[in-house]
Amino acid sequence: MIELEVTARSAAPAERVFQLLADVTTWPAWARFDAAEVESGAGVGEVRVFRSGRVATRERVTALEPSRRLAYELLSGLPVVGHQAEVLLTALEGRGTKIRWRSSFEPAIPGTGRLVRRRLERFVAEAAEGLARAAERAAAAGRARGG
C-alpha cells in the first residue's frame, strides 16, 4: 500500500474551508480541474465526476463531518486500485485551519507506484494550497459583505 500525506494552512476558519471542500462545484476554482459535478446522490454516498482535459475521474464520498472531515474513494479514472483519501481540518488556536490531505492506494500497473505517488502527491499538495487560499478569499469577501 502506498500512502501520502500533505498539509496546508489557511487563515480562514474551518467552516469556510469545509464549505468549499464539500461543494464539488467550487473545486475547479482552486484545484486543477476543468469541471466538477455531482453525478448522483448527496452527502455520504454522493458520486462526483472531475474532468481535466480528456481525463475524467469518479469518486464517492464515504464520510462527511462538517468543518472536520471529508473522505472519499476513487471509483474510476486513475491507474490505481483501492484509492482511499480523507481531508482532515483542524481549527488552529487563535484562528485559521490546518488542512491535512491523506491518500492510500495500490498501483494498477506493477512498477508504476513511485511515479503515480509523485504525481498524485504534487496534485494533492497544489489542491490543498489552492483550497487554503480560496477559503481565505471567501472569508475576506464574507467580511467585506458584513457576513
Classify 144 as helix, strand or coil: helix
What CATH number should be reported for the domain holding residue 112? 3.30.530.20
pTM (two decimals): 0.91
pLDDT 10s digits, 85-116: 999 999 998 789 999 999 999 999 999 999 99
**Domain assignment of residue 67, given as a range:** 2-23+63-144
Residue 33 lies in a domain: no
pLDDT in tens, the chain (147 residues): 999 999 999 999 999 999 999 999 999 999 999 999 999 999 999 999 999 999 999 999 999 999 999 999 999 999 999 999 999 999 998 789 999 999 999 999 999 999 999 999 999 999 999 999 999 998 887 666 665
Task: Let me know: does 43 contact 127? Beta carbons within 8 Å.
Answer: no
Number of domains making up the chain: 1
Element containing residue 140 per DSSP (H, E): helix 113-144
Name the phi and psi angles at 141, rounded to 5: -65, -40
Of residues 76, 70, 67, 55, the one with CA closest to residue 24:
70
